[in-house]
Amino acid sequence: MEKKLLNLLTALCMVSLPFLFKGSKMRENLVIFFSKGVLATLIDAYVVGTKKIEYPVRPFPKIFKTNLIYDILFFPILSVIWVKISYNDNFGKILLKSLIFSVPMSIGQWFMERNTRLFKWHKWSPFHTFASCSFTLFMIRGFVGLIKILDRFKGKQNINEQESYQN
């Protein structure tokens, strides 16, 4: 059953990829995707290494102790979606929209931990999932905010260069 769930999750992630990486923000979405993948992998490696969580059923169990499907596909895709729906929002709306992702993620992981062999929590709880999910969402959102500021700065710099060239 667990392998079927992981295969279904992988298939859903793969099907969603082309829809997420089209349009004018493709470069930014790719940065979000890969940044979240790195961040999730680092945090998960620490959590698994300190024996807070284990993944009894996972891809490539002889090579990796973490679950790559979560770290490099599922969580990064959720982050791209979250940034898309909160891109122009103020802090209050961003905070509320973060709950749309972190609360169901916490409840879902709690349910899956109780009813499948996908997760085994040792020193972990739904609160830890909520905190880590929220933390990584805000880290990525802050990173996107920095990119937006740098893009605006670069745009102003290009305008100034064009004006000085014309004079």
Per-residue pLDDT of 109-128, as tens digits, reads 999 999 999 999 999 999 99
As to burial, measured by CB atoms within 10 angstroms (0-12 exposed, 13-18 middle, 19+ buried), residue 65 is: middle
Q: Which domain holds residue 78?
A: 2-15+23-166
Q: How many residues does the chain have?
A: 167
Query: What ranges in the chain are assigned the alpha helix state H?
Result: 2-20, 26-49, 68-69, 75-86, 91-115, 126-166
State residue 148's pLDDT score. Answer: 80
The whole-model pTM stands at 0.84
Number of domains in the chain: 1
